[in-house]
């Protein structure tokens, strides 16, 4: 018998009631008790499943329902309807038992004690999660080594740089060896070097420990570097769920051919209707084409016949453009 | 249970260490608090020196009430500070962090901060209390001493309960917190003086809605050996600590309702 | 002048939006006032000696203080505090406004808008809805009324200057915390909010008169009552304005030094 999926989410729906504020002097003075509400449908029916060890990117524009989903999955919020079974438990029904097995990193908020050295926060988390001393020592040593935290342990959290703090946050959320990790914008505001370090660590973590990771981010480089599978949410439901390649194909089948020619050379008119020049930068000319209509060999053949090509390669369009297009398709 | 107590002690230790990062400022603040509350008591003294008595209550008797209510309040302010400042956490979304940890929300909130600085108020109130007991001229029997300690504890629980209610309210609106503040600080203010001087509606409020009089006025009568001008039964004077604890437990039930509201609206 | 007026107007509009807070605060103020009045009633009925202030005057004094409670500098500007904590001061420096003046305009809004919406209901309650012995009385004549209005404006300016000291002290994290906690307590104690200042001992009167705090509550209230003759208005108004000037100068100096520190630290 095949093992059950680790995360089963079926038809989650959630609607918020938001109070309106009135403006102006009279509005402010009038009616202390009366309030008007409008309804915001944050989730309209979200379903997906995750297998153990998957690393999935969960993306979508602001207000699309990303953080509502994460809150429900991490046991913070109770949905209006729908089913959710994670690690064999319903998150909001057995909160304490459930959250002991997950780790959560909120990129914008700290879980460390601001005025204390990092190691004190770790020790306190050990007690909160009831980690046995031997396992804690081992777990801490591994994380300290993997994230290079040794010089930071005795520094008060408030003195850490954002990048240093995020490394500590990652360690803090893993001390109790969770089986599922939620990363909510873990690279937000980080410098390039710290971003790379965080990404490397997450990738290794997922590979070595078979840890399931759900990653939300606005940084498409995170997705490109880490995720095989991507889920896109918009207007409260999942618009796309599949591999990054399929996402590219579904939105736009376009490929890019980049050729290098002498910069001063005039370009010939392309005879092929499905290919066009999109950009020219110095020696590089970017040509976009639809591989379903134009075979790359055909295109290259035609170009090399009329131009002295120095070099050429075919690439995928950048993921930012794909996502922008996808949001455009769904009018988000 | 023991596990929870141990974790609470760890929280306290961590919080105290964080506050001790600036020992000089801590000492200054404590002394400042001591001085300010001392002046507050000086005003009570000034009223007595002008008017002589307060409806048959002498200064040492009122000082007993003052000491009891302020010690209880200082203890609650120190220990339940996490609930007192909880509205900030809710606003910043930090309650989410608490919900993703495998411990009771009450334990985590209460562990957020142990406000050591309140020893300033505590020390001042303790001095007033010691003076009051000495000046009262009653023999402090073991029974009375125990009642004194227990009713201060009961008072601590009661004020802690008020902080819990205040925190619960902030799940709905941080704007109306002042309502509970009113009960808390109004309670401290009113509790400094004998219940008998207030109008019946106020007495009933402090007996039955927020039963502050049961951990302050009533046991103080028993300790000072005064007869109750309001004629409440004597056993009630000795039952006070239980009522404070009961109030605290009830506030925890209300807290659970608040948590449920939060997890269903995420506001 | 115009940009400051528009800061004042916009801040007032924002502050007027907190209706629940206003309602809650109003209830608090009424309850506190009533408790204090009952305490005074208890004292006054315990002694037949002639007091420096009649019971009816003391009651009106208490209600004036409670109705105008929000005008007291008992907290700082939360948005400025948050800005300083987050290190967003750079934006403030980019504005074509004097920083002190900008904050002062905000402080005026903070001290007037909430007072406006709360004072009227509290006055209405204290004048008409309370049982006889707890009621507030109108001033003896138009002159006294005028003196009250003038000294209330003086109190507002003084209060805004003290509020700004609280705001500015937040530039020093640790000391700011101390100022934020202790200064409001001093304000309450020495302004006459807790006990009408004339009821305090004779020897303390001269000191209280020349502390800045009596200008906040005691001075306007006593002119209202006719407890201070209108002929003394210049002297008392002068004290209020002198303190305001002094505190503004102190605030500017502190701000200058504080900003230098912040800029050096790159906060």
What are the pLDDT digits (tens) for A18-66?
776 555 444 444 444 456 678 888 899 899 999 998 999 998 887 788 8
**All residues at 6 or more sequence positions from B212 whose CB lies less than 8 Å from its CB, including other chains:** B69, B155, B158, B187, B190, B191, B206
**Which among A131, A113, A112, A122 has a CA at the least distance from the CA of A177?**
A131
- Between B14, B19, B97, which is nearest A120 by CB? B14
Give Cα A280 to chain centroid, integer Å. Answer: 32
Asked if B65 and B194 touch (Cβ cutoff 8 Å), the reply is yes
Chains contacting C (3 or more CB pairs within 8 Å) = A, B
Residue ranges in chain C whose pLDDT is less than 70: 263-267
- Between C20, C42, C43, which is nearest B173 by CB? C20
**Which among C71, C102, C109, C92 has a CA at the least distance from the CA of C240?**
C71
With an 8 Å Cβ cutoff, is C20 touching chain B?
A: yes
Answer whether C189 sits within 8 Å of B39, measured CB to CB: yes
**All residues at 6 or more sequence positions from B265 whose CB lies less than 8 Å from its CB, including other chains:** A16, A17
**All residues at 6 or more sequence positions from C67 whose CB lies less than 8 Å from its CB, including other chains:** C29, C33, C118, C119, C122, C123, C126
Task: Give A97→chain B minimum CA distance, Å.
Answer: 6
C146 assigned to some structural domain: yes
For A20, B12, B14, the CA distances from C214, given in Å and listed in that order, are 42, 40, 42
**Looking at beta carbons, which residues of chain B come within 8 Å of C185?**
36
Chain A interface disruption, residue of C9, C17, C177, most A CBs within 10 A: C17
With an 8 Å Cβ cutoff, is B142 touching chain A?
A: no
Answer whether C13 sits within 8 Å of A32, measured CB to CB: no
Residues 63-122 of A with CB under 8 A from B: 68, 71, 74-78, 92, 95-100, 102, 104, 106, 109, 111, 113-116, 120
Task: Give C82→chain A minimum CA distance, Å.
Answer: 16
Answer whether A29 sits within 8 Å of C117, measured CB to CB: yes
What are residue A105's DSSP bridge partners?
A183
**Which among C202, C74, C188, C35 has a CA at the least distance from the CA of B39?**
C188
Answer whether B102 sits within 8 Å of A97, measured CB to CB: yes
Q: Which structure tokens are listed for B203? A: 């007495």
Asked if A314 and A295 touch (Cβ cutoff 8 Å), the reply is no
Answer whether B266 sits within 8 Å of A76, measured CB to CB: yes
Q: Classify residue C186 as exposed, middle or buried by CB count within 10 Å of its CB (0-12, 13-18, 19+).
A: middle
Sort residue B214 into left (φ over 0), alpha (ψ -120 to 50) or beta. Answer: alpha
pLDDT mean by block of 10 residues, chain A; 332 residues: 75 84 49 64 91 91 85 92 92 90 88 88 93 93 92 91 92 93 89 89 87 88 88 88 84 80 77 78 84 82 82 76 73 60
Query: Across chain A, where does the E strand assignment appear?
Result: 7-19, 37-50, 55-59, 81-86, 102-106, 180-184, 212-216, 229-234, 237-243, 255-260, 275-281, 284-289, 311-315
3-state class of A189 per DSSP?
coil
* Rounded Cα gap, residues B142 and B138, in angstroms: 12
Task: Give B152→chain C minimum CA distance, Å.
Answer: 22
C266 assigned to some structural domain: no
Answer whether C13 sits within 8 Å of A28, measured CB to CB: yes
Task: Give A112→chain B minimum CA distance, Å.
Answer: 11
- Between C21, C185, C199, which is nearest B50 by CB? C199
**Which among C134, C198, C35 has a CA at the least distance from the CA of B43?**
C198
Q: What's the order of all strands across the beta sheet hosting A180-184?
A: A102-106, A180-184, A212-216, A55-59, A229-234, A237-243
Q: Which structure tokens are listed for A120? A: 């004190």
Task: Give C22→chain A minimum CA distance, Å.
Answer: 9
Q: Classify residue A207 as exposed, middle or buried by CB count within 10 Å of its CB (0-12, 13-18, 19+).
A: exposed
With an 8 Å Cβ cutoff, is C199 touching chain B?
A: yes
Concatenating the DSSP letter of every residue in A53-112 gives: T-EEEEE--TTSSHHHHHHHHTTSS--SEEEEEETTB-TTTSHHHHHTTEEEEETTS--S
Task: Give B92→chain C minimum CA distance, Å.
Answer: 12
Q: H helices of A93-174, where? A: 95-99, 118-128, 133-147, 162-172
**All residues at 6 or more sequence positions from B108 whose CB lies less than 8 Å from its CB, including other chains:** A128, B98, B101
- Between C23, C174, C201, which is nearest B25 by CB? C174
Per-position pLDDT tens, chain B of length 267: 788 899 999 999 988 888 887 788 888 888 888 888 898 899 999 999 999 999 989 999 999 999 999 999 999 999 998 998 898 888 777 899 999 999 999 999 998 888 888 888 899 999 999 999 999 888 888 989 999 999 999 999 999 999 999 999 888 877 667 777 777 888 898 999 999 999 999 899 998 888 999 999 999 998 988 888 888 888 888 887 899 999 999 999 999 999 999 988 865
Report how many Cβ contacts below 8 Å link chain B to chain C.
104
* Rounded Cα gap, residues C225 and C149, in angstroms: 12
The pLDDT of residue C264? 53
Asked if A133 and B39 touch (Cβ cutoff 8 Å), the reply is no
Query: Which residue is listed with tokens 């499905």?
Result: A274
3-state class of C249 per DSSP?
helix
Beta-carbon neighbour count of residue B250 at 10 Å?
13
Asked if B130 and B50 touch (Cβ cutoff 8 Å), the reply is no
Q: The complex's ipTM?
A: 0.88
Answer whether A96 sits within 8 Å of B102, measured CB to CB: yes
The Cα angle at residue A202 between residues A201 and A208, in degrees rounded to 5? 85
Could you say which architecture CATH assigns to the domain A7-249? 3-Layer(aba) Sandwich (3.40)
Phi, psi of A217 (to 5 degrees): -165, 160
Beta-carbon neighbour count of residue C81 at 10 Å?
16
C265 assigned to some structural domain: no
C130 assigned to some structural domain: yes
Q: Which structure tokens are listed for C100? A: 């002190």
Report how many Cβ contacts below 8 Å link chain A to chain B.
73
Answer whether B51 sits within 8 Å of C47, measured CB to CB: yes
With an 8 Å Cβ cutoff, is A2 touching chain C?
A: no
Q: What's the order of all strands across the beta sheet hosting A7-19?
A: A37-50, A7-19, A81-86
- Between C20, C31, C49, which is nearest B182 by CB? C31
**pTM score of the predicted model:** 0.85
- Between A71, A115, A127, which is nearest B21 by CB? A115
With an 8 Å Cβ cutoff, is C23 touching chain B?
A: yes
Residues 146-205 of A with CB under 8 A from B: 156
Range of the domain at C16: 2-260
For A22, A162, B31, B252, C215, the CA distances from B12, given in Å and listed in that order, are 43, 27, 22, 20, 42
Answer whether A32 sits within 8 Å of C17, measured CB to CB: no
* Rounded Cα gap, residues C167 and C108, in angstroms: 13
Q: Which structure tokens are listed for A300? A: 């290259």
Chains contacting B (3 or more CB pairs within 8 Å) = A, C
**All residues at 6 or more sequence positions from B41 whose CB lies less than 8 Å from its CB, including other chains:** B63, B66, B124, B128
Residues 190-249 of B with CB under 8 A from A: none
Task: Give B206→chain C minimum CA distance, Å.
Answer: 12
With an 8 Å Cβ cutoff, is C25 touching chain B?
A: yes
The pLDDT of residue A21? 59
The pLDDT of residue C88? 74
**All residues at 6 or more sequence positions from C133 whose CB lies less than 8 Å from its CB, including other chains:** C41, C59
* Rounded Cα gap, residues C46 and B56, in angstroms: 8
Beta-carbon neighbour count of residue C238 at 10 Å?
11
Q: What is the CA radius of gyration of chain B?
A: 19
Answer whether B99 sits within 8 Å of A76, measured CB to CB: yes
Q: Is the dihedral of CA B43, B48, B53, B58 positive or negative?
A: positive
The pLDDT of residue B89? 81
Query: Which residue is listed with tokens 């001063």?
Result: A264
With an 8 Å Cβ cutoff, is B94 touching chain C?
A: no
* Rounded Cα gap, residues C73 and C76, in angstroms: 7
B170-194 b/e with 16+ CB inside 10 Å = b? bbeebbbbbbbbbbbbbbbbbbbbb
Q: H helices of B137-226, where? A: 142-169, 177-191, 200-204, 217-224
- Between B17, B100, B104, which is nearest A104 by CB? B100
Chain C interface disruption, residue of B186, B204, B206, most C CBs within 10 A: B186
What are residue A56's DSSP bridge partners?
A214, A229
**Looking at beta carbons, which residues of chain C come within 8 Å of A25?**
13, 16
The Cα angle at residue B47 between residues B44 and B48, in degrees rounded to 5? 90
Sort residue A260 into left (φ over 0), alpha (ψ -120 to 50) or beta. Answer: beta
C267 assigned to some structural domain: no
**Which among A110, A155, A113, C184 has a CA at the least distance from the CA of B114?**
A113
Answer whether A102 sits within 8 Å of B100, measured CB to CB: yes
Task: Give A101→chain B minimum CA distance, Å.
Answer: 9
* Rounded Cα gap, residues C154 and C220, in angstroms: 9
Number of domains in chain C: 1
What are residue A16's DSSP bridge partners?
A40
Give Cα B116 to chain centroid, integer Å. Answer: 15
Q: Classify residue A242 as exposed, middle or buried by CB count within 10 Å of its CB (0-12, 13-18, 19+).
A: middle
């Amino acid at each position: 018998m095949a093992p059950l999926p680790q995360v089963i989410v079926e038809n989650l729906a959630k609607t918020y009631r938001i109070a309106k504020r009135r403006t102006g002097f009279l509005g402010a003075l009038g009616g202390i008790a009366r309030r008007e509400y409008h309804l915001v449908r944050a989730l309209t029916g979200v379903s997906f499943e995750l297998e153990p060890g998957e690393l999935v990117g969960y993306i979508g524009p602001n207000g699309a329902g990303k953080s509502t989903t994460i809150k429900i999955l991490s046991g913070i919020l109770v949905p209006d309807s729908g089913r959710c079974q994670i690690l064999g438990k319903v998150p909001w029904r057995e909160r304490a038992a459930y959250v002991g097995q997950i780790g959560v990193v909120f990129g914008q908020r700290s879980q460390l004690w601001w005025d204390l050295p990092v190691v004190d926060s770790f020790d306190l988390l050990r007690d909160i999660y009831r980690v046995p001393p031997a396992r804690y020592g081992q777990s801490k040593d591994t994380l300290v080594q993997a994230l290079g935290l040794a010089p930071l342990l005795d520094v008060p959290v408030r003195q850490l740089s954002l990048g240093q703090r995020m490394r500590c946050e990652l360690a803090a959320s893993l001390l109790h060896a969770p089986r599922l990790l939620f990363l909510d914008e873990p690279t937000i505001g980080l410098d390039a070097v710290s971003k790379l370090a965080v990404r490397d660590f997450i990738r290794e973590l997922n590979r070595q420990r078979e840890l399931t990771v759900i990653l939300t981010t606005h940084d498409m480089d995170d997705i490109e570097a880490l995720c095989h599978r991507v889920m896109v949410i918009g207007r409260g439901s999942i618009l796309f769920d599949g591999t990054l390649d399929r996402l590219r194909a579904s939105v736009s089948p376009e490929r890019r051919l980049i050729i290098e020619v002498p910069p001063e050379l005039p370009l010939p008119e392309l005879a092929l209707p499905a290919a066009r020049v999109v950009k020219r930068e110095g020696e590089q000319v970017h040509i976009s084409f639809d591989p379903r209509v134009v075979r790359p060999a055909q295109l290259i053949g035609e170009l090399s016949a009329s131009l002295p090509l120095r070099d050429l390669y075919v690439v995928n369009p950048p993921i930012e453009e794909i996502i922008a297009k996808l949001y455009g398709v769904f009018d988000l | 249970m023991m596990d929870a107590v141990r974790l609470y002690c760890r929280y306290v230790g961590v919080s105290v260490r964080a506050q001790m990062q600036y020992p000089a400022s801590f000492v200054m603040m404590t002394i400042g608090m001591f001085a300010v509350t001392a002046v507050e008591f000086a005003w009570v003294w000034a009223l007595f020196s002008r008017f002589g008595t307060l409806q048959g209550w002498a200064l040492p008797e009122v000082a007993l009430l003052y000491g009891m209510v302020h010690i209880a309040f200082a203890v609650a302010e120190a220990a339940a500070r996490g609930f007192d400042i909880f509205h900030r956490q809710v606003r910043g979304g930090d309650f989410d962090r608490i919900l993703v940890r495998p411990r009771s929300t009450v334990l985590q909130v209460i562990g957020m901060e142990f406000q050591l600085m309140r020893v300033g108020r505590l020390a001042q109130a303790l001095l007033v209390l010691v003076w009051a007991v000495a000046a009262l001229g009653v023999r402090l029997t073991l029974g009375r001493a125990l009642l004194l300690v227990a009713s201060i504890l009961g008072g601590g629980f009661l004020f802690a309960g008020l902080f819990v209610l205040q925190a619960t309210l902030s799940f709905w609106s941080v704007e109306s917190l002042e309502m509970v503040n009113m009960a808390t600080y109004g309670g401290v203010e009113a509790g400094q003086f004998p219940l008998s001087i207030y109008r019946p509606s106020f007495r009933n409020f402090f007996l039955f809605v927020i039963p502050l009089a049961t951990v302050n006025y009533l046991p103080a009568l028993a300790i000072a050996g005064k007869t109750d001008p309001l004629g409440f039964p004597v056993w009630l004077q000795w039952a006070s600590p239980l009522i404070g604890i009961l109030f605290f437990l009830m506030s925890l039930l209300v807290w659970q309702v608040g948590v449920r509201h939060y997890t269903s609206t995420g506001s | 002048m115009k940009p400051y007026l528009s800061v004042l107007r916009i801040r007032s509009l924002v502050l007027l939006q907190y209706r629940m807070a206003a309602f809650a605060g109003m209830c608090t103020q009424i309850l506190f006032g009533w408790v204090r009045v009952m305490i005074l009633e208890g004292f006054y009925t315990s002694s037949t000696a002639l007091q420096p202030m009649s019971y009816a005057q003391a009651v009106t004094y208490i209600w004036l203080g409670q109705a105008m409670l929000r005008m007291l500098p008992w907290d700082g500007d939360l948005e400025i505090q948050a800005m300083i904590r987050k290190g967003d001061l750079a934006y403030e420096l980019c504005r074509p406004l004097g920083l002190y003046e900008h904050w002062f305009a905000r402080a005026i809004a903070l001290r007037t808008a909430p007072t406006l919406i709360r004072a009227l209901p509290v006055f209405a309650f204290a004048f008409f809805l309370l049982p006889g012995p707890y009621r507030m009385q109108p001033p003896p004549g138009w002159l006294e009324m005028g003196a009250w209005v003038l000294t209330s404006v003086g109190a507002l300016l003084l209060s805004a200057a003290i509020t700004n000291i609280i705001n500015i002290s937040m530039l020093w994290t640790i000391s700011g915390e101390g100022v934020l906690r202790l200064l409001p307590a001093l304000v309450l104690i020495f302004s006459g909010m807790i006990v009408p200042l004339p009821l305090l001992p004779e020897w303390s009167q001269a000191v209280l008169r020349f502390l800045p705090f009596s200008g906040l509550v005691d001075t306007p209230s006593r002119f209202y009552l006719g407890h201070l003759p209108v002929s003394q208005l210049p002297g008392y108004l002068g004290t209020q304005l002198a303190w305001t000037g002094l505190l503004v100068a102190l605030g500017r100096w502190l701000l200058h030094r504080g900003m230098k520190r912040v800029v050096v630290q790159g906060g």
